[in-house]
């Protein structure tokens, strides 16, 4: 990190004199995410088939309910991994389409749990499947197919890593309009795949309704998910010639980072300080140099960070310079609530999920810029994993088919 | 009427008459009646179940998915089967419908001839005229499963009882060894004998409740509200395990072992003549490993020895024995099912293999998360396969 960008943390005794970095004006496009028709409601359905998996750019706005269920592979060979991916594909196809389950008849228990009633609605369900680096270890003979840069989640200096929440071989990111639909899908998929995967960690998340309008808020009270690269920006999907294995083209790297938010501490801080830590206003979501949520921050006009401090979260995360343009990533965060901790504080935070074509050039680059940011004192990253989100499925194929051809 | 509540796990038939006539079956008239679906997305038919005619209203139709609304217009609680003719088996069995109640049942009908059967008190009272289904189905048609009878399952019960009394016979020398080791104060040796006996008991497939009080005394069931040391009803293998791993005096444990020996001998004396509930063996076939997962591999059951994997391996043996005893009835309904199930049970043994050398086992607490996951994966995948057994061999309601 260059010395002039050392952020000022609240707890630093010595505030470094922040000198200017000349930030070029960047025309960073904010994805104007208009909701698609029928995004909400029991009949909302997102097609399973496609060049890319759903749950990344589709639907444009994340569904209200989610789970990030991470599994260890208990399959012991390549055939087992293939059988797993075929079974998962079958179930996701059926679940996302919705409809009345085929009756099992008198020789078997019911085909479906019935949690969604006799005719299961699609309810905006998407299931996004990823593989961790463990799928490419010696067990499955796929080492030569391992995507570049796919390793264990990197642990950063201020993290409070908890092994119980780290690692995993298979990600099922299940999102839907309501929690029962998420639960139903997870229960159905695990029922059909028990021999090959076993749960390692799981966390449920939610996206709040707009309060009162615009982008939903996270548990710090801030609108979260405003600025994201749009799909045509080409920063998310793995493309041919990117150095990644052929089979991964059309996929994306999924970084899941579990970040606790110390909300009691945060609530004891003035809103002005909160605003300068984020770089946006808590009430409107507008950047501090603008008045509307959708206004683009103009860092070039404020090179000294008088209005939006140089160490503000949004400024560090995306300085909007030509050099930083390629480091942008797609964020789809979910709030989580896990009860309370031994100190009497709420155990709540953000399931930070981001999608990019390159983990090191995007996620890690952003995270490195954020090192030591003022907000650091109020958050603690404790878990997560890196995954390769598989390419989409067209025709009668199955997820990850390219690994076996 | 004396409401007889039948717990699913009860294995020994009690003295209470189990065959009830239609007239005396208690009706749980809940008032909640099934409404026909708001948006029928497939072929539907309302089928009346009346005293005069079982299944009137089901006419000839084309193949494919269908929802039948079964409506009991009779005065008696009635169970309705959809059967494929001639005598090919049952596609679905309704719950017992009280008079005036309707409910929906779904099936995917392949081409052929079908009838409705109406049963009261477990007996077929009437059969509809066959109706024809023509055409093809694109999706899987619902399989017709030959109806099981208690006579058929009785043979399996007899096989099981023979296995069980042989197994119980091997427990006597193990308990003598246990008693002797405790008498000489050799706790290390006592622990080994205890494990042998504990595994033998598990090998019986006698998880909770299946042999009533006699079984509970042998197994040892803890009162969760009491400390084990202050719980006089906590006896048998569980109590001895607790003592062996919580520094109880060998003398006190010896008394428990002597009592256990007596309890086992008493059960062994009765075993060959026990009146088993006819439909209980198919339930047992999947419940042994359900208990393994719920009570043993969770660690809930443990009284200090940590021998969850050793007990799991014995539970697999018991499951294999039950499946073997049921092989005839199962294979005649779904050829190949026992081989499929045995493959899943083999996978449990494969997962257990790295966790022991002979009968020396790694404790549950010492196993790595990955070792535990391998065992959980194999056991839970076996359970998915085993879950069909009770369905394939279900007896008409009221005849169990
Ligand atoms: C609990 C932790 C976090 C909180 C509470 C948080 C909060 C916020 C908020 C309120 C915004 C402004 C609204 C928006 O544009 O969405 C924002 C923007 C952003 N955050 Fe975070 N964030 C957190 C963690 C992270 C992490 C771990 C990263 C990446 C490593 C990150 C990267 C970004 C980026 C790239 C932007 C958009 C900046 C822009 O393009 O203007 N955030 N975050």
pLDDT tens across A243-271, in order? 999 999 999 999 999 999 999 999 999 99
A5 against B340, higher pLDDT: B340
Query: How high is the pLDDT of residue B12?
Result: 57
pLDDT at B29 over 60: no
Return the number of other C-beta atoms located less than 10 Å from residue B154's C-beta: 13
Spacing of C-alpha A63 from chain mean position = 12
CA of B256 to the centre of ligand 1 (A): 65
Cα–Cα distance, A305 to A297 (Å, whole number): 11
Q: Radius of gyration over alpha carbons of chain A, in Å?
A: 22
Residue A119 at interface with chain B, using a CB cutoff of 8 Å: yes
pLDDT mean over A172-181: 98
Degrees to nearest 5, angle at CA B367 with B361 and B369: 150
Cα–Cα distance, B329 to B333 (Å, whole number): 7
Q: Note every long-range contact of A318-323, with CB atoms under 8 Å and residues 24 or more positions apart, other chains counting.
A: A318/A28, A318/A227, A318/A366, A319/A21, A319/A23, A319/A26, A319/A369, A320/A23, A320/A25, A320/A26, A320/A28, A320/A296, A321/A23, A321/A24, A321/A26, A322/A24, A322/A26
Asked if the Cβ–Cβ distance from A103 to B92 is below 8 Å, we say yes
Asked if the Cβ–Cβ distance from A118 to B104 is below 8 Å, we say yes
Query: How high is the pLDDT of residue B336?
Result: 98
Pick from A30, A313, A318 the residue to mutate for probing ligand 1's pocket: most ligand atoms within 8 Å of its CB.
A313
Cα–Cα distance, A368 to A354 (Å, whole number): 15
B21 against A282, higher pLDDT: A282
How does pLDDT run across A177-195, given as a tens digit for each residue?
999 999 999 999 999 999 9
- Omega of the bond leading into A117 within 30 degrees of 0 (cis): no
User: Quick check: A105 and B92 in contact, CB under 8 A?
Assistant: yes
Q: Can you spell out the DSSP letters for A275-298? A: HHHHTB-TTT--BTT-SSTTPPP-
pLDDT mean over B9-34: 35
Which percentage of chain B shows pLDDT scores above 90?
A: 73
From chain A, the residues in CB contact with B340 under 8 A are: none
Q: Radius of gyration over alpha carbons of chain B, in Å?
A: 25
Asked whether residue A402 is assigned to any structural domain, the reply reads no
Choose among A290, A288, A330, A292: nearest CA to A305. Answer: A288
Cα–Cα distance, A400 to A182 (Å, whole number): 22
Asked whether residue A336 is assigned to any structural domain, the reply reads yes
Which percentage of chain A shows pLDDT scores above 90?
A: 89
Residues of the domain holding A374: 3-98+121-394
Asked whether residue A110 is assigned to any structural domain, the reply reads no
Asked if the Cβ–Cβ distance from B388 to A107 is below 8 Å, we say yes
Residue A164 at interface with chain B, using a CB cutoff of 8 Å: no
pLDDT grade for B24, boundaries at 50, 70 and 90: very low
How does pLDDT run across A278-314, given as a tens digit for each residue?
999 999 999 999 999 999 999 999 999 999 999 999 9
Q: Nearest by CB to A74, from B344, B377, B392: name it.
A: B377
Ligand 1 pocket, CB under 6 A: A 218, 220, 222-227, 257, 259, 261, 278, 280, 313-314, 317-318, 331, 349-350, 352, 363, 366-367, 370, 379
Residue A99 at interface with chain B, using a CB cutoff of 8 Å: yes
Pick from A26, A262, A275, A352 the residue to mutate for probing ligand 1's pocket: most ligand atoms within 8 Å of its CB.
A352
Query: How high is the pLDDT of residue B266?
Result: 92
Query: How high is the pLDDT of residue A41?
Result: 77
From chain A, the residues in CB contact with B39 under 8 A are: 119
Q: Which two tokens stand for residue A188?
A: 């159905």
Asked whether residue A401 is assigned to any structural domain, the reply reads no
From chain A, the residues in CB contact with B347 under 8 A are: 195
Contacts of A273 (CB under 8 A, 6+ apart): A10
How does pLDDT run across A308-347, given as a tens digit for each residue?
999 999 999 999 999 999 999 999 999 999 999 999 999 9
Q: Which domains does chain B have, with CATH numbers?
A: 31-134 (2.60.40.420), 150-392 (1.20.1420.20)
Return the number of other C-beta atoms located less than 10 Å from residue A93's C-beta: 17
Query: How high is the pLDDT of residue A160?
Result: 98
Q: Nearest by CB to B373, from A72, A99, A107: name it.
A: A72
A19 against A348, higher pLDDT: A348
Lowest mean pLDDT among A9-18, A217-226, A278-287, B181-190: A9-18
pLDDT at A35 over 70: no
pLDDT grade for B7, boundaries at 50, 70 and 90: low
Asked if the Cβ–Cβ distance from A100 to B41 is below 8 Å, we say yes
pLDDT mean over A48-61: 97
Query: How many helical (H) and strand (E) elements, i.e. helices and strands, does chain B have?
Result: 12, 12
Torsion angle of the four alpha carbons B207, B209, B212, B215, in this order, in degrees rounded to the nearest 10: 30
pLDDT at B373 over 90: yes
Q: How far is CA B192 from CA A14, A190, B181, B268, B309, in A?
A: 66, 38, 10, 23, 15
pLDDT grade for B203, boundaries at 50, 70 and 90: very high
Size of interface A-B (CB pairs under 8 A): 77
How does pLDDT run across A349-358, given as a tens digit for each residue?
999 999 999 9
Asked if the Cβ–Cβ distance from B369 to A72 is below 8 Å, we say yes
pLDDT at A4 over 50: no
Give B 365-394 residues with CB within 8 A of chain A.
369-370, 373-374, 376-378, 380-381, 383-384, 387-388, 391-392, 394
Return the number of other C-beta atoms located less than 10 Å from residue A86's C-beta: 17
Asked if the Cβ–Cβ distance from A105 to B139 is below 8 Å, we say no
Return the number of other C-beta atoms located less than 10 Å from residue A19's C-beta: 11
pLDDT at B276 over 90: no
Which residue is associated with the tokens 């719950």?
B95
Q: Which ipTM value was assigned to this complex?
A: 0.90
pLDDT at A171 over 90: yes
Q: Share the mean pLDDT of chain A.
A: 92
Query: How high is the pLDDT of residue B68?
Result: 94
From chain A, the residues in CB contact with B65 under 8 A are: 100, 102-103
Query: How high is the pLDDT of residue B275?
Result: 78
Give B 225-254 residues with CB within 8 A of chain A.
none
Query: How high is the pLDDT of residue A18?
Result: 37
Q: Share the mean pLDDT of chain B.
A: 87
Residue A108 at interface with chain B, using a CB cutoff of 8 Å: yes
pLDDT at A125 over 70: yes
Which residue is associated with the tokens 């499946």?
B323
Protein residue with its CA nearest to atom 33 in ligand 1: A317
The DSSP bridge pattern shows strands B43-49 and B54-56 to be antiparallel
pLDDT mean over A99-117: 94
Choose among A39, A31, A66, A73: nearest CA to A352. Answer: A66
CA of A389 to the centre of ligand 1 (A): 21
Asked whether residue A107 is assigned to any structural domain, the reply reads no
Asked whether residue A111 is assigned to any structural domain, the reply reads no
Lowest mean pLDDT among A2-6, A75-79, A166-170, B296-300: A2-6
| Tally of domains in chain A | 1
Query: How high is the pLDDT of residue A32?
Result: 33
Q: Nearest by CB to A106, from B92, B373, B384: name it.
A: B92
Asked if the Cβ–Cβ distance from B377 to A191 is below 8 Å, we say no
Which percentage of chain A shows pLDDT scores above 70?
A: 90
- Residue A357, min C-alpha distance to chain B (Å): 31
Asked if the Cβ–Cβ distance from B344 to A197 is below 8 Å, we say no
Cα–Cα distance, B97 to B74 (Å, whole number): 10
Q: Is B24 exposed, middle or buried (0-12, 13-18, 19+ CB in 10 A)?
A: exposed
Kind plus residue range of the DSSP H or E element containing B151: helix B150-169
Query: How high is the pLDDT of residue B278?
Result: 81
């Amino acid at each position: 990190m260059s010395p002039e960008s050392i952020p000022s943390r609240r707890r630093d005794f010595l505030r470094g004199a922040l000198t200017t970095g000349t930030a070029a004006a960047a025309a960073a496009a904010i994805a104007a995410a208009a909701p698609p028709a029928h995004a909400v409601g029991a009949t909302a359905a997102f097609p399973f088939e496609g060049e890319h998996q759903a749950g990344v750019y589709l639907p444009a706005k994340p569904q209200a309910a989610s789970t990030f269920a991470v599994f260890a592979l208990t399959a012991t060979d390549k055939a087992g991994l293939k059988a797993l991916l075929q079974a998962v594909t079958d179930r996701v196809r059926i679940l996302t389409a919705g409809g009345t389950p085929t009756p099992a008849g008198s020789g078997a228990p019911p085909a479906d749990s019935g949690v969604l009633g006799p005719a299961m609605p699609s309810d905006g369900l998407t299931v996004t499947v990823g593989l961790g680096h463990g799928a490419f270890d010696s067990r499955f003979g796929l080492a030569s197919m391992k995507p570049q840069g796919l390793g264990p989640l990197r642990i950063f200096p201020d993290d409070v890593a908890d092994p119980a929440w780290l690692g995993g071989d298979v990600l099922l990111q299940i999102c839907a309009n309501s929690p029962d639909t998420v639960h139903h899908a997870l229960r159905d998929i695990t029922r059909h795949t028990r021999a090959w995967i076993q749960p390692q960690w799981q966390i449920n998340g939610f996206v709040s309704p707009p309060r009162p309008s615009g982008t939903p808020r996270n548990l710090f009270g801030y609108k979260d998910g405003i600025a994201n690269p749009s799909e045509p920006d080409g920063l998310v999907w793995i493309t041919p010639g990117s150095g990644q294995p052929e089979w991964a083209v059309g996929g994306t790297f999924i970084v899941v980072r579990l970040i606790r938010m110390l909300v009691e501490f945060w609530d004891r801080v003035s809103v002005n300080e909160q605003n300068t830590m984020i770089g946006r206003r808590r009430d409107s979501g507008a950047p501090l140099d603008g008045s509307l949520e959708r206004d683009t921050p103009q860092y070039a006009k404020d090179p000294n960070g008088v209005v939006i401090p140089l160490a503000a979260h949004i400024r560090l995360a995306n300085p909007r310079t030509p050099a930083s343009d390629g480091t942008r990533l797609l964020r789809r965060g979910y709030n989580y609530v896990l009860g309370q901790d031994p100190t009497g504080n709420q155990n709540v935070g953000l399931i930070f999920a981001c999608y990019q074509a390159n983990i090191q050039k995007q996620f890690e680059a952003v995270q490195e810029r954020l090192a030591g940011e003022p907000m650091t004192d109020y958050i603690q990253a404790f878990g997560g994993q890196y995954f390769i989100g598989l390419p989409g499925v067209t025709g009668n194929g199955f997820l990850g088919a390219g690994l076996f051809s | 009427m004396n409401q007889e509540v039948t717990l699913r796990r009860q294995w020994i038939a009690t003295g209470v008459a189990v065959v009830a006539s239609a007239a005396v079956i208690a009706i749980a008239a809940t008032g909640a009646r099934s409404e026909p679906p708001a948006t029928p997305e497939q072929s539907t038919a309302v089928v009346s179940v009346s005293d005069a005619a079982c299944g009137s209203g089901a006419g000839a139709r084309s193949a494919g998915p269908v929802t039948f609304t079964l409506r009991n217009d009779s005065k008696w609680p009635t169970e309705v089967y959809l059967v494929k003719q001639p005598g090919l088996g049952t596609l679905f069995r309704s719950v017992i419908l009280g008079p005036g109640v309707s409910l929906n049942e779904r099936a995917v009908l392949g081409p052929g001839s079908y009838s409705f059967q109406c049963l009261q008190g477990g007996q077929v009272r009437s059969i509809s005229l066959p109706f024809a289904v023509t055409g093809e189905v694109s999706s899987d048609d619902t399989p017709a499963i030959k109806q099981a009878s208690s006579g058929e399952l009785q043979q399996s019960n007899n096989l099981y009882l023979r296995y069980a009394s042989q197994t119980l016979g091997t427990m006597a020398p193990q308990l003598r060894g246990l008693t002797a080791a405790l008498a000489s104060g050799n706790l290390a040796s006592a622990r080994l004998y205890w494990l042998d006996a504990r595994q033998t008991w598990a090998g019986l497939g006698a998880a909770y409740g299946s042999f009533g009080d006699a079984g509970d005394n042998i197994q040892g069931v803890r009162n969760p509200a009491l400390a084990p040391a202050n719980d006089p009803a906590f006896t048998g293998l569980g109590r001895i395990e607790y003592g062996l791993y919580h520094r109880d005096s060998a003398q006190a444990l010896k008394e428990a072992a002597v009592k256990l020996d007596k309890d086992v001998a008493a059960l062994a004396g009765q075993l060959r003549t026990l009146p088993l509930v006819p439909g209980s063996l198919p339930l047992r076939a999947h419940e042994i490993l359900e208990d393994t997962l719920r009570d043993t591999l969770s660690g809930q059951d443990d009284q200090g020895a940590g021998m969850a994997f050793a007990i799991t391996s014995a539970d697999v043996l018991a499951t294999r024995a039950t499946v073997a005893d049921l092989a005839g009835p199962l294979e005649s309904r779904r050829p190949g099912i026992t081989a499929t199930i045995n493959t899943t049970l083999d996978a449990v043994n494969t997962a257990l293999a790295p966790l022991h050398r002979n009968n020396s086992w790694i404790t549950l607490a010492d196993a790595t998360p990955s070792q535990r996951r391998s065992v959980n994966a194999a056991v839970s995948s076996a359970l998915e396969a085993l879950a069909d057994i009770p369905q394939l061999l279900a007896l008409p309601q009221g005849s169990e």
